[in-house]
Amino acid sequence: MTKEDRGYAQTMLVEMLDARFAVGFVEALFRSVAKLPKGPKAVIKSFLKGANKSLVKDKDDLKEMMKKPVIYKMIYNTVKLKTKSPWKIRETTGSW
């Protein structure tokens, strides 16, 4: 594995983690509204509680997340599909 290959893989991991955080916020919003809580205050409170799970609080938290990244299957499949052709070209030609 070359230096470029490793960089490419790291970039894909970062992209998948970014997408995971976005999905986490959408999921928190959906769950807070789906319960039909009592009024807008309750919706906001429920959303913030759920969104807090997707936030990176400090460097240690980020390091821990990078050791054991959680990637949703739908994100993995999307990235896999989008990067299939560039990776095949890389394997075939040996260059980007």
Cα 2 → chain centroid: 25
In tens digits, what is the pLDDT along the chain, a chain of 96 residues? Answer: 678 778 888 888 888 888 888 888 888 888 777 766 677 788 788 877 777 776 666 677 667 766 777 777 888 888 888 877 777 777 777 765
pLDDT at 81: 83
One DSSP character per residue, 24-47 reads HHHHHHHHHHHT--SHHHHHHHHH
Which ranges of 1-96 does DSSP label H, i.e. alpha helix? Answer: 3-34, 39-52, 59-67, 73-93
pLDDT at 38: 72
pLDDT at 57: 66
The Cα–Cα gap between 13 and 15 comes to: 5
Report pTM: 0.60
